[in-house]
Homo-oligomer: A and B are copies of this chain.
Amino acid sequence: MEVLDLIKTIAPEAIKILEERYLILRTILYNQPIGRRSLSDILGFKERAVRDQVVFLRNQGLLKIDFMGMYITDEGIKTLESLNPIYNHIKGIPELEVKLKKLLNIRKVSILPGNSKDSGMVLRDMGKITSKIIKNIINNGDIVGITGGSTMAAVAEEFVPDKIKRDVIFIPARGGLGRNVETQANSIAATFAKKLGGTYRLLFVPDGLEKEALEYIIKNEDIKESLNLIDNMDMLIFGIGRADTMAKRRNLPPERVEELISRGAVAEAFGHYFDINGKEIWEYKTVGLSLNKFKKLNNVVAVAGGAEKAEAIIAIATLNENMVLITDEAAARKILKLVDNAT
């Protein structure tokens, strides 16, 4: 990588070109087949520039063009993969990761360049990286908790399956939440199990039950078993949300949302609400993973991107030093900014 730094000083133009072509190649990979115009729209590049670069990349055999649009070639994919660490280095991601890890005082931080809010590709890359990380830390015999949400759905979706059979059980970490089947913890747990080669259990507890109904439902054998598994969970993979958006999404009454916010709630994770210091403000009424159990977990993988989640990430990171965080550049830089301003 010193080579790169050298090139930075002696041929900075090269870095620009590199970045441009990398971005184009990557965007094609994730959107193929795609046309010149939509490509320049997505990237915010001028159409003509895109066109020139595309011609170049085709000549290099990295992509193909036909009447449907542009496709990446195998060669292109290989090149793109080699380019990933280079792009990260250029963007200063490794330095950011070290800084953030220290700042949040957690086990590991992995950052994807860009903003997952603007670009679905970044979210998908976060999923890919999470997939790799999970494969590394998961052990046979583990009971693995899973939460819902669109980020977690993307992670599940981008999981790269392999042929290894794993003796692992995936289980939703909490009941409740979600009209959309795709982003429900249950479906996500199923996808994980399928791609990682394990089994899964479901946990169906409707939202907003009264206390009596909840107590009644807990007596159900299936649910009992699931709750038992949750109590013995070895690992948790979860998304982090903003308190306000999550409260609204759960259709809490406006006054309740108001109250949470006024009490300083910024983060939501597995049904609990926290202020920026990690103090629990409120717990959503359902069954599942308790805060105490969470704090004692040895393997926790949090996935969250986008600048707007910066506070939420800070809050959750205080809860467990063993946390592994996968996030994006936008969130990372916002977190640093917030903490810098605070000091």
Residues in B with CB closer than 8 Å to A83 are 6, 10
Shortest CB–CB separation between residue A29 and chain B, in angstroms? Answer: 14
Residues in B with CB closer than 8 Å to A292 are none
27 pairs, CB–CB < 8 Å, chain A vs chain B: A2-B82, A3-B3, A6-B79, A6-B82, A6-B83, A6-B86, A7-B7, A7-B14, A7-B18, A9-B60, A9-B62, A10-B17, A10-B18, A10-B22, A10-B60, A10-B62, A10-B79, A10-B83, A11-B14, A11-B17, A11-B18, A13-B13, A13-B14, A13-B17, A14-B14, A14-B17, A14-B18
Shortest CB–CB separation between residue A9 and chain B, in angstroms? Answer: 6
> Counting CB contacts under 8 A, is A4 at the interface?
yes
> Counting CB contacts under 8 A, is A1 at the interface?
yes
Please state the number of chain copies in the assembly: 2
The residues of A with any CB-CB pair to B shorter than 8 Å are: 1-4, 6-7, 9-11, 13-14, 17-18, 21-22, 60, 62, 79, 82-83, 86
A-B contact sample (12 more), CB < 8 A, given A9-B62, A10-B21:
A3-B3, A6-B79, A6-B83, A9-B60, A10-B18, A10-B60, A10-B83, A11-B17, A11-B18, A13-B17, A14-B17, A14-B18
Of the candidates B3, B10, B60, B79, the one whose C-beta lies within 8 Å of that of A4 is: B3
Shortest CB–CB separation between residue A61 and chain B, in angstroms? Answer: 9
Residues in B with CB closer than 8 Å to A60 are 9-10
CA–CA, A17 and B18, complex, Å: 14
